[in-house]
A and B are shown apart, each in its own frame.
Chain A
Amino acid sequence: MLPYPILTLMLVLMWLLLNGFTLGHLLLGIVVAVFASWAMASLRPEKPKFGKWYLLPKLFGIVLYDVAVSNLHVAKVILRAGSRKHNPGFLAIDLEIRDHFAIAVLAVVLTSTPGSAWLEYDSNDNTVLLHVLDIDNEAAWRDTIKNRYEKLLMEIFA
């Protein structure tokens, strides 16, 4: 009946956000979402395996904070581009997570954080190539990604 309950729920929620919270739209949204999730099922995508899903808000909070901090940092780098040299560089990191959804979330996190960009993921040796705008503290970047994000993601997508 409902192959992707989370997707269905999110679609209903999106429908209500776009059209207003009324009973009519709730019913219409449910119909649309159920049919859409059936259509999705015929594509047979991989299902995410959630472990400690309740850690998601924690990850969200951490990311929101980190993005704000690095926004300020990158803004400073840009505004002082003439006077002070920053030190851009590439960074290759061996990942431990293998779950596709976790890797996708990590890519979204690192891309939306200004100052780090996800260039290339190699599924053969599970490494990712990043470009970092200010690599002065390479160990700190590594530590942030490995301990701050990856550990949490491994717990969420267990």
Chain B
Amino acid sequence: MMVNAADIPLWAAVAVAFFLLVGATLALIGAIGFVRLPTFYERIHAPTLGTSWGIGGIMVASMIFFSVAASRIAIHEILIGIFVTVTTPITFMLLARAALHRDRAEQNGKAPDKHTGSGSGPEEIQDEA
């Protein structure tokens, strides 16, 4: 039995609103980062805001709302969280390795070689900044 969204208790409404706002804000900041950050390798960090606590916040809000409104435990949202978390690295590595491959082939300088010793990348970047 579903109750109207306006009729759920105040504590639940506050919690739902809080987590929804946190999640949505993080997803928005991630999208802004997508536009603002200058290089490809920096840009791939931005959407992880949306795929970590961005989706986490919205997931928690959804679980609280439907558990309270339908007065039964609704936790199948966890599956969304699990599958998003487990599958994003695959896309990420695919994109990142494609970029690395291109940068190495074109010798764009920024990408470290295949067999760098540890930590030879940062100095190059620092010179540039």
Q: Which residues of A contact B (CB under 8 A)?
A: 14, 17-18, 67-68, 71, 74-75, 77-79, 81-82, 85, 87-94, 107-108, 111-120, 122, 125, 127, 129, 131, 133, 135, 138
Query: Cβ of B14: which chain A residues have Cβ within 8 Å of it?
Result: none
Majority secondary structure, B binding face: helix
Binding site for A on B (CB under 8 A): 26, 29-30, 32-33, 36-37, 39, 41-42, 44-46, 48-49, 51-53, 75-76, 78-79, 85-86, 88-89, 92-93, 96-97, 100, 111-112, 114-122, 125-126, 129
B48–A113 CB distance below 8 A: yes
Given contacts A89-B122, A92-B121, contact A117 B41 (CB under 8 A): yes
A-B contact pairs, 27 of them (CB 8 A): A17-B76, A18-B76, A67-B53, A71-B52, A74-B46, A74-B49, A75-B49, A77-B33, A79-B29, A79-B32, A90-B111, A90-B122, A90-B125, A92-B118, A107-B89, A114-B45, A114-B48, A115-B45, A117-B92, A118-B89, A119-B41, A119-B96, A127-B118, A129-B112, A131-B44, A135-B122, A138-B119
A91 contacts which of B52, B119, B126 (Cβ < 8 Å)? Answer: B119
Given A18-B76, A78-B33, A91-B122, answer yes or no on A119-B117 (Cβ-Cβ < 8 Å): no
| Contact (A133, B53) CB under 8 Å given A111-B88, A119-B93, A120-B97 | no
Q: How far is the CA of A85 from the CA of B4 in the complex (A)?
A: 48
Residue in B37, B53, B118, B122 whose CB lies within 8 Å of A81: B37
With A and B bound together, what is the CA distance between A71 and B78 in angstroms? 20
- Given the interface pairs A18-B76, A71-B53, A88-B42, the reply to whether A93 lies near B118 with Cβ below 8 Å is yes
Evaluate whether A78 and B121 lie within 8 angstroms (CB atoms) in the complex, with A111-B92, A112-B85 already known: no
Q: In the complex, what residues of B have CB within 8 A of residue A133's CB?
A: 42, 45
